[in-house]
Chain A
Amino acid sequence: MRTVTITDVTLRDGNHAAAHQLGVKEVELYCTALDAAEVPIVEVGHGNGLGASSLQLGESKDSDEKVLKAARACLKKSKLGIHVIPGFATIEKDLRRALDIGVDVVRVASHCTEADITERHIRFVREAGKTAFGVLMMSHMISPEELLEQSRKMENYGAEAVIFMDSSGNFLPDAVADRVKILVNSLNIPVGFHAHNNLGMGIANSVAALSAGASYLDGSARGYGAGAGNAQIEVLLAVLQRMGHPISIDLLKLLDAVDAAEKAFIPQTPVISSASLVSGLAGVFSGFALPVKRIATQFNVDARQIFFELGRRKVVGGQEDLILEVASELAQQQKQQQSQNQLQQQTQQQNQENNYVTRK
């Protein structure tokens, strides 16, 4: 029978919500607890993965090396996973060292249309005898057929599974099920799904994926992740249990882990803020939430307008510099609008005065 494998992404995706400030301390605490609960894969690192600490995306509190070593020391039963995007992380600078430290599972990711940039990284991981998965991000931007095409490439490169991510939290359950079905029917490798909760569909979409044949699902503690957060791992587990799926994770111990995480490093459990909702509707990468908030304040513009404009421009994850450009353009438009309004008011006033004079 098909089993479902759960990956906890709190220490990676949650880093988007924590401005990449989850470091060694948090990793040690939560990894130890997850290992006790026997969660199959624990993913750690910068929100955009290995080698992504940057001014563009936010700098990590602790280096990749420190975080990976800490996680490695704490994980005995669980496998240590990382997220890797070619274009940010290179094999020589980043990946080789990560494997040396003892990473078990490397999820090599690209924007959903760009799978061919993952060839070398997947190859490298497989040749080193480690597990490589392919990850397609922002998958709402393409049709199920295109998603299959890109997944096939990853399968050919040697990916042992393909996981598609709803990075914007834009999908509804039927759309997820359609995609999982077409992938499962056509690929020889298992399929996974990674949810975001911008439209409140995190759990519903995960369940739809599972029912349609998915073998991998992602979740995070209290849903702690980019934007409106991910599928809440403890809820996901409870739902799977209700559905009668055999799960190897110890639910009570997982709840202990999640409670400890909440106390230690989740200052605010994710909510679907107005900005996140708009972001989900506009189909913008959830990781943009914090930088948009910061830049909107600095330029004194409406964060929701920034999201709509970013959505219109079809930005992809990693293009955070465009937030600056968009915000500065909106600020300029606002200024022009204001001065036009003033001009109009003045003219109206003058007209009124003139009228007054004439009438007089």
Chain B
Amino acid sequence: MSHANNLLVQDCNAALTLQLPKLAPLRNSILVVTGGTGFLGKWIAESVATLNDGFGFGIECHLIARNIQRFSTECPHLCNRKDIILRRDDVRYMSELPRDTSWVVHAAATPDNREHASHPVEIMSAISEGTTNALRLVSRLSQLQMFLNVSSGLIYGQQSLDLERISESTPGTLNCSEPAASYTEAKRFAETLCAAMRTQNHIPVTTVRPFAFVGPYQSLETPWAINNFLRDSLKGNPIRVLGNGKTVRSYMHGADFASWVLTILTNAKSGRIYNVGNSEPMCIENAARMVANCFAPMPEIVIGSSVNTYPHVSRFVPDVTAAQNDFGLSLAYDTQRAIERTVAWHRAISQ
């Protein structure tokens, strides 16, 4: 096994071991993931491989996505397994799912905000029609135990700076008439649709609202600060922090993300909603330092690297007490370790 794959298995082992007893319902079941080749999809696939290989879970995992080619090049080690089945399909137009499916994770829709800006109508269609069709499909599955809808932490709108962490009950601040709201409003619609299907058709549904992540498989091309820091450092360039560095985020490792989602999938009560992410706030200046610390010689950090140092700051940190209290969820990797693991993986795959 290559060094890079080894790292991934270690990551999954660390994250899954914490939840292992709670994941027992997954044994010998069929799990379907829509949007199966995205960041979450890949980590679920890695986790399934780890659970099956290391703990004899015997899960059959179906990954459904429009573009499966990229998955084949990025995760060749997951492509020739009998327990991971790739299917090229558009969730909007699919006509059936495996009959004996017990678990569905509905994660179709890109979180890339450039896509949202350029193709808002396509995004809204993918989320609204995709979720509608997915819910209709699962309503015909007699074995279905849970449909987990992957929503987004962005549905709260801009977090107020004096609010330490956003909890699930915080009302949103979005203006639905702006095209910029296309992704988030569609996600809100999808949540309401899930609630409607739950009450009308008695489909077991739970929703997660993911926040910010770091880890192997996250494309460094996405325009998010942590990825830019990693990209700059890997290229041997100085790290450019655009604003004054005081913007606050929190980062969860991809393996923890998958393990939390699988735990919520198999343990949540129908109708419950959970934030998923790291609740430890971190200003992006510190995140840049953590990235820099992984390199020798250490890259220079340029704060206010854009021409004009603009004092704008924002905050995006989840309150995850609900997930912690209900399932005893915790993190295998704090931010520091998550960043170190990410850098190690990028080094391994570039060798």
Contacts and interface: CB of A to CB of B under 8 A. Distances in A.
A212 to B, nearest CB: 15
B53 interface: no
A40 to B, nearest CB: 6
Contacts of A215: 308, 310
A126 B235 CA distance: 13
Nearest to A154: B117
Interface string A114-153: 0110010001001101010000000000000000010011
5 contacts: A41-B307, A115-B117, A129-B240, A156-B223, A161-B306
Interface string B174-189: 0000111000000000
Interface in B252-280: none
Nearest to B313: A188
Contacts of A149: 178-180
B232 A129 contact: yes
Interface residues of B, number: 26
Contacts, number: 72
A248 B145 CA distance: 65
Contacts of B221: 123, 127
Given A149-B179, A152-B180, A157-B223, A131 B114 contact: no
Most B C-beta atoms less than 10 A away, residue of A4, A5, A188? A188
B293 to A, nearest CB: 20
Interface of B: 113-114, 116-118, 178-180, 221, 223, 228, 231-232, 235, 237, 240, 242, 305-312, 314
A126 B307 contact: no
A2 interface: yes
Given A129-B232, A156-B113, A156-B117, A190 B314 contact: no
Nearest to B158: A188
A122 B231 CA distance: 16
Interface string A210-239: 000001100000000000000000000000
A131 B304 CA distance: 12
Contact of A189 (B113, B232, B305, B310): B310
A119 B310 contact: no
Nearest to B115: A156
Given A129-B232, A149-B180, A188 B311 contact: no
B183 to A, nearest CB: 10
B117 A190 contact: no
A2 B308 CA distance: 9
B237 A129 contact: yes
Contacts of A216: 307-308
Contacts of B311: 1-2
A119 B180 contact: no
Nearest to A129: B237
A109 B65 CA distance: 35
Contacts of B118: 116, 119, 153
Given A126-B223, A190-B308, 15 more contacts: A5-B307, A41-B307, A131-B306, A149-B180, A156-B116, A158-B223, A160-B242, A160-B306, A160-B307, A161-B306, A161-B308, A189-B312, A190-B312, A215-B308, A216-B307
